[in-house]
Amino acid sequence: MRIAPSILQEEFIGLKAKVVKSQNPGYVRISGKVVNETRNTFTILHEGKEKVVVKDAAIFHFILPDGSIIEIDGKVLLGRPEDRVKRTVRRLW
């Protein structure tokens, strides 16, 4: 699946997310609403509890408001959210 580079500059807080693959098996199948984002982590509200997931160690599925699902490697999302919004992404395809 190819995604537009502009999606990487969007705000992820409030979106539904699911960890589909991870180096840490405890992260797999964590899903819910993203309630916080830091430079290296997402905090996801999973079954009433906040779970902190390291971005570098996971691949995420995000459900956009229009219902489409995108898959993003957490390594691409590293960095402070406010800096990532300003960063320009070069297209590789």
User: Domain tally for the chain?
Assistant: 1
Task: Tell me whether residue 93 is in a domain.
Answer: no
Position 51 in a domain: yes
pLDDT at 9: 78
Any domain includes 92: no
Q: Considering the domain boundaries, does residue 91 fall inside one?
A: no
User: 77: closest CA among 30, 15, 28?
Assistant: 15
Q: Is residue 14 scored above 60 in pLDDT?
A: yes
- Quickly tell me which residue has 């992260």 as its tokens: 27
CA distance 74 to 77: 5
pLDDT tens digit sequence for 47-75: 999 999 999 999 999 998 889 999 999 99
Amino acid identity for residue 80 in this structure:
R
Phi, psi of 56 (to 5 degrees): -65, -20
**Confidence bin at 3 (pLDDT 50/70/90):** low
Partner residues linked to 34 by β-bridges: 44
Can you give the pLDDT at residue 11? 87
**Domain span holding position 81:** 5-85
* Residue 43, domain member (yes or no): yes
pTM: 0.82
pLDDT in tens, 26-43: 999 999 999 999 999 999
52: CATH = 2.30.30.210
- CA-to-CA distance for 62 and 73, rounded, in angstroms? 11
